[in-house]
Structure 1
Amino acid sequence: MMDCKEAIVVTGMGIISALGESVFQSMDTLANGVVEPASPQLPGCTIQKPVFKARGFDEVRGIDESRGLYESRGLYESPGIDEARGLYESPGIDEARRFDKSGWLDIEKQGESRTLKLARVAFQEAVTQAGLSDGSDFGIGICSGTTVASQLNDIDFYQSFRENRLKSYDAFNHYLSGNLAEALKDSFKATGPAMTIVNACSSATDAIGVAMDWLKAGLCDIAVAGGADELNRVPISGFNALGILSAAPCRPFDAERNGLNLGEGAGFLVLETESSAKKRRAKPIAECCSYATVADAYHLTSPRPDGSGLESAIKKALNCAGICEEMVGFINAHGTGTPTNDLIEGKVFKKMFGSSLDIWATKGFTGHTLGAAGGIEAVLTISALREQRLFKSAGFATIDHAIGICPVKHEKQICAEYAISTSLAFGGMNSVLIFRNLKL
């Protein structure tokens, strides 16, 4: 865990998910509350339980439907917003910067995984808002979390092998195409460290934590951190085999919840020390106060029943941030909609914060995006802090008295200085980020 000296601030954010392909679109969709999962029409996949596809991604970029993608639900539309400009707009941003989708952001590049293409979209929005360009004179590190991208394109590789169509056994090149951080570093001409974190569903949160450590250690001036993951047959089949995919839209923390929906997307933050931001005259969006992670080593896929791993991680993060439980304004929960995760997570929240703290669950809008989840939820947490507004937790209707907490049911104004984002993962991982609103 990092030490607690100079402040680290966020100067750029980028996101793509079922909510939309920008921060503004995502917050607007949350306000409208209109996202619903659809059937995953993936070749070779007989499991038709609902999933959340990255909104608008394929229509804009002409992605080949034959590569395992499925029908779109349409582009973002909103009166008065000129989406063709591709601008990041949000209350409190003095000057919107053009989100350039050309140049190095070449979605048509052959041989790139869908995960990398998703990563490029969110990465580009983040660095554009931060005022960075490729080849910048700053030492920029890149740390990206993922799960699916690390599969070495093994779906196509194995299928080709079975059908005697394999022209090369060069697994090294397959690996490189799944190394998000190196690919982004190469495209952006970054000169700092690069690392891809594969730590199941806490991957992006852990990537942000690693990037914070880099900055504290002076390994780079600026770090871009987050995660990306695509939908494909491997995670769908795996989660279905575990019996935790829901046949209906997921319902985090609801008494009738029965499983999760998978999703896809990417979320990235541009992080730098406060002194670096001042030197560049970059406007901070928020402070990334602290990160902590605890492995409870209890079970391969289940968290420890008493929630001690998550509780310990939250306590460590609070201590590093120098705050107490009463100073936390809300929590963006991992909230998958599975019976076990939500029960344990909710009990920890109630034990530590009581039953009155606002608990926000966003996976009812995005699905569980696996290695991207922590990055996407970090962006949403910071955006909610900046706007001082929480939206409904999609799917929640009935309180589970065994948990004893009631997630946010309707849009509401808040007055929060600090917020927590939690990520739980297979292997006993419990990772926590704390953000601070700099406007209060």
Structure 2
Amino acid sequence: MTPSDTDAAANDLLAFIDASPTPYHAVRESIRRLTAQGYRALDEREPWDLKPGDKVYVTRGDTSIAAFHLGTVPVDRAGFRLVGAHTDSPNLRLKPNAHVQRSGFHQLGVEVYGGVLFSTWMDRDLSLAGRVVTAKDGRLTHHLVDFRRPLLRIPNLAIHLNRTVNTDGLKLNAQDHLVPVLALERSGAVDLKAMLTAELARGGTQVEPGDILGFDLCLYDLQPSTRSGAFGEFLHAPRLDNLASSHAGLSSLLAMSGPREATCGVVLYDHEECGSVSAQGAASPFLKDLLERITLAHSDGRRDALHRAIRHSFMVSADMAHALHPNYASMHEPKHAPVLGGGPVIKSNVNQSYATDGETWAWFALCCREVGVTPQNFITRTDLGCGSTIGPISAGELGIRTVDVGNPMMSMHSIRELAAAADVAAMISVLRNFFVR
């Protein structure tokens, strides 16, 4: 990989993140990239007509997407090569009855989604984006909305009123202290639905406030993603966990050229950060449903075709990994502390918080070796609990061989995270090799 390749991949990741303030927008941006490369949409409600070489994608719930490049050999003989990641990140989301008036302020009540690092959301220029659902003539319609301007702020308490904050730590109560301010009461009345209809109108969608019957709205930091460091080696961005892995899987699939025997695919799930139990999460039948339908259309038609396809298949669960933190080096397991810029990380846990075993570890290490990349290894300290990923969930649902990997990063679950530019192209190179080898 040349320096220009590294820079191009890193900069493209930052563009992908900035276009994806919510899982809804991440799916929309994924669709834009897929259609530009000749992929066509399939509807789960309709029959499918598939043939070798087809490039297709399917969405579910507006926040999960799977894309497949069908191979030249039936899947019951060549299997699937799959990369899984997730579109969601920890954040703050509006409550249904969000408007709050308190102490002279208009505020918006929020729920905590996933494992949010509370302190990082303080004193930020926050905006609002997501999905609005309207009803017209008895039919529901979904609209994406993004205010794209400073709208909200969660102000810190001055140190004069919290003298021990630097010694005892900042202690925040999610119900009381994470409520963002929207406006002053003296400035006028606030109507959230009217604000949403006005913002939709700016994008060319005309609805009335009374048409809005539901919404899924997320707060996000307006500061653009950027490069930093003396040599431009760092990436500062929100939602690196796990849009960086979604971008890597999608980019590697789109980089494929020419026919391949195996059917290659990427599945980007929602709801990983809150357990994956939903209609479109990794614990749902989403992927299994798709593999069954593809197998029916692209195999010998026998009842055991999917079972045979699975035995020929392999999955990479891609989710970001904890890099060695120079100020907290003791928090890492010795000899298993990945470094930024050191390449893809193979994640292991004997209690199956990660799906990696010796065979799948070796498979991914071979994919790395063949493109000149040296992988790193991560396990959590023995005296600390281990987080998990979609890997064990998908492996348990499908019985498919799975390895858990990810690029190293710091500040995981912060509103603004840190990774290395060099790792972006390296992961894409390995995943592309995984698809084509």
Shared fold (TM-score greater than 0.5)? no
Could you state the TM-score of these two structures normalised by the residue count of structure 1? Answer: 0.28
Could you state the TM-score of these two structures normalised by the residue count of structure 2? Answer: 0.28
Higher strand share: 2
